[in-house]
Amino acid sequence: MTIDVHDPEGVRLQKVLASAGLGSRRACEELIASGRVTVDGATVRELGVRVDPVRAVIHVDGLRVQLDSSIVTLALNKPKGVVSTMHDPEGRPSIAQYVADRTERLFHVGRLDAETEGLLLLTNDGELANRLSHPSHGVAKTYLAHVEGRVAGSLGGRLTRGIELEDGLVKVDKFQIVQTTPQASLVELVLHEGRNRVVRRLLEEVGHPVTRLVRTQVGPIRLGDLKPGRTRVLSKTEVGSLMTQVGM
């Protein structure tokens, strides 16, 4: 069965792709002709197809294309001591001060406890924020943890099999020891969990209290060399990869 995605009232597909930043119109025509573009799940190879840029769901090479130019998604390197809310009734420093110059109404995606530093995503796309925060989409998060004591090589196996905490079992997807001395260690963990203070509670449970914790990655988005307290706007490709990960 062929789905007819052509909308006679719409805009030519290559023009829509070009205005979304995927290259010149000629380059976008080549993307279409080579079968790399889908509209609402159907592969489109004809150059005359018109689509509604507001409603059409377009993917290129499997990545969702963000067509709405009013949508913005930011990465923030949240400093230690800042709470993950837009306003704190207790008057503590909040993430609002780092996006005070933005006119959009931004939602933070999940949270980091006040003492944890690192990558926090903010967006004015409510659907994307909800999906990224929802446990059912299992978006992986990567942390670097400075912990007390020398970490044994066998700990990774224990953590990937799962550790029972007071609110249930927690399993780590990947674990590696980056550095270790008799007094302290630096470890990296990847997990899908979003429970409150879960990394701190997990490492404390196995006898290695955390002294510093930094989130370095959320899904495909990396903190990179973004300085504490600074933000950057995610590229269209990065936003597309996030949307694809949560089934948008």
Q: Decide: residue 196, CB within 10 A, 0-12 exposed, 13-18 middle, 19+ buried.
A: exposed
Q: Which residues face 185 on adjacent strands?
A: 147, 180
**Residue carrying structure tokens 């004809």:** 46
- In 25-112, the DSSP E strands lie at 37-39, 42-43, 50-51, 58-60, 63-64, 73-78, 107-109
Q: Checking DSSP bridges between strand 63-64 and strand 58-60, what pairing results, if any?
A: antiparallel
What are the start-end ranges of the H helices in 68-196?
126-133, 155-161
Q: Checking DSSP bridges between strand 163-165 and strand 63-64, what pairing results, if any?
A: unpaired
**Does residue 40 carry a catalytic annotation?**
no
* Percent of residues in the chain assigned helix, strand, coil, to nearest 5: 25, 30, 45
Spot the catalytic one: 7, 52, 88, 113.
Answer: 113
User: What does the buried/exposed string (b/e) look like for 141-160 if buried means 16 or more CB atoms within 10 Å of the residue's CB?
Assistant: bbbbbbbeeebeeebbeebe
C-alpha–C-alpha distance, residues 140 and 83, integer Å:
22
- In angstroms, the Cα distances linking 110 to 18, 134, 137, 218 are 33, 9, 13, 10
Q: Checking DSSP bridges between strand 163-165 and strand 42-43, what pairing results, if any?
A: unpaired
Which residues are designated catalytic? 113
